[in-house]
């Protein structure tokens, strides 16, 4: 974890591959999980209002590619990040762009983080364009686990509009915006309370900006 003196940003970077095999690093009883919890306790939010986390595979992605692949990691760690008020989470892995509304456990929550997937900066596999909520787009649950990310943890939803299903029937309410275009992003922290992620989509020559507040409720 990086926390510079008098800095307004604390950045947390987490691993993912192999963390759920024999090492169990990110399980609640794991040493790395406990280390992260101790470090989060040390962040003085009056000095460091922005708490940002990043790791490779997204927890919240509505694309068919890698759909709910990191669910084991989310199940183990989401409550910890939520309880310490993480503001923004950046991910890659899915070769497209998607930004969530503030969300916790697949439900809109003003205290949850905003999740931003920025995997649209160039790749050999082309862009991810299909969504799990497209007609006929929901993948077979047994095809989604990744052995390096904990195996199978993505069961059917138990509440909300998708209760009893593995996928939503339309774009989920927690998904604010998604686009399959080549592009890149810049995060500008304007003050201790305001930030503005800017994303440029080269294929359409457009820019997309949204403004976030630290600890927004």
What is the residue extent of each domain of the chain? 2-181
Extended strands (E) in the chain: 2-3, 9-13, 50-54, 88-91, 97-100, 103-104, 107-108, 114-118, 175-179, 183-189, 194-201, 206-209, 212-213
| Predicted pLDDT of residue 201 | 57
User: What was the pLDDT predicted at 112?
Assistant: 96
CB 100 within 8 A of CB 93: no
Give the tens place of pLDDT for each residue, 44-94: 988 888 899 999 999 999 999 999 998 888 988 999 999 999 999 999 999
User: Please, are residues 94 and 63 in contact by the beta-carbon 8 Å criterion?
Assistant: yes
- Quickly list DSSP for 102-119: SEETTEE-TTSPEEEEE-
- The CATH code that applies to domain 2-181 is 3.60.21.10
Residues in the chain predicted with pLDDT less than 70, given as ranges, are: 1-7, 17-27, 122-124, 146-151, 191-217
| Average pLDDT score, the chain | 82
**Residues catalogued as catalytic:** 66
**pTM of the shown model:** 0.85
Rg, C-alpha atoms of the chain: 17
Give the Å distances, CA to CA, from 5 to 23, 36, 37, 54, 109.
Answer: 33, 19, 20, 21, 31
For residue 11, the model assigns a pLDDT of: 87
pLDDT of residue 121: 76
3 contacts: CB under 8 Å, gap ≥ 6: 10, 42, 43, 48
């Amino acid at each position: 974890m990086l926390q510079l003196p008098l800095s307004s940003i604390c950045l947390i970077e987490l691993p993912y591959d192999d963390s759920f095999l024999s090492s169990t690093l990110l399980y609640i009883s794991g040493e790395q999980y406990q280390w992260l919890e101790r470090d989060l306790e040390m962040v003085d939010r009056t000095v460091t209002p922005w708490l940002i986390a990043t790791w490779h595979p997204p927890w919240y992605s509505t694309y068919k590619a890698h759909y709910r692949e990191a669910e084991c990691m989310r199940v183990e760690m989401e409550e910890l990040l939520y309880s310490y008020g993480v503001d923004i989470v950046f991910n890659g892995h899915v070769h497209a762009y998607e930004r969530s509304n503030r969300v916790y456990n697949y439900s809109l929550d003003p205290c949850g983080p905003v999740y931003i997937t920025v995997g649209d900066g160039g790749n050999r596999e082309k862009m991810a364009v299909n969504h799990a909520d497209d007609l006929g787009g929901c993948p077979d649950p047994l095809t989604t686990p990744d052995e390096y990310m904990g195996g199978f943890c993505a069961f059917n939803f138990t509440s909300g509009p998708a209760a009893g299903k593995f996928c939503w029937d339309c774009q989920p309410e927690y998904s604010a915006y998604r686009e399959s275009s080549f592009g890149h992003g810049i995060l500008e922290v304007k003050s201790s309370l305001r930030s503005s992620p800017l994303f440029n989509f080269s294929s359409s020559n457009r820019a997309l900006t949204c403004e976030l507040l630290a600890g927004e409720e």
